[in-house]
């Protein structure tokens, strides 16, 4: 799934971090569907990781985020 239209920009909040990046969805699927069908980790591309206080920690082309640490996932407009 390399097409840009399959990418959805999201913000993920964990207890310690705010992660901004893209998840890759199948056409006509929702972020909720993606989260329900994912296993232990979700793949985020073009990721920026920030401390909750606001300091940027990491920028990376790819990161796996543990579902067990995710508190909030929201799509961005």
Which domains occur in the chain, in start order? 4-75 (2.30.30.100)
CB atoms < 10 A from the CB of 16, how many?
Answer: 12
pLDDT tens digit sequence for 16-30 = 999 999 999 888 888
Record the pTM: 0.86
- The mean of the pLDDT values for the chain is 89
Label each residue of the chain as H, E or C: CCCHHHEEEEEEEECCEEEEEEEECCCCCCHHHHHHHCCCEEEEEEEEEEECCCCEEEEEEEEEEEHHHEEEEEECC
């Amino acid at each position: 799934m390399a097409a840009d239209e399959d990418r959805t920009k999201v913000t993920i909040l964990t207890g310690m971090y705010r992660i901004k990046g893209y998840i890759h969805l199948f056409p006509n699927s929702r972020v909720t569907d993606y989260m329900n069908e994912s296993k232990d980790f979700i793949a985020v591309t073009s990721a920026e990781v920030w401390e909750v206080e606001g300091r940027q920690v990491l920028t990376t082309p790819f990161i796996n985020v543990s579902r067990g640490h995710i508190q909030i996932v929201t799509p961005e407009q």
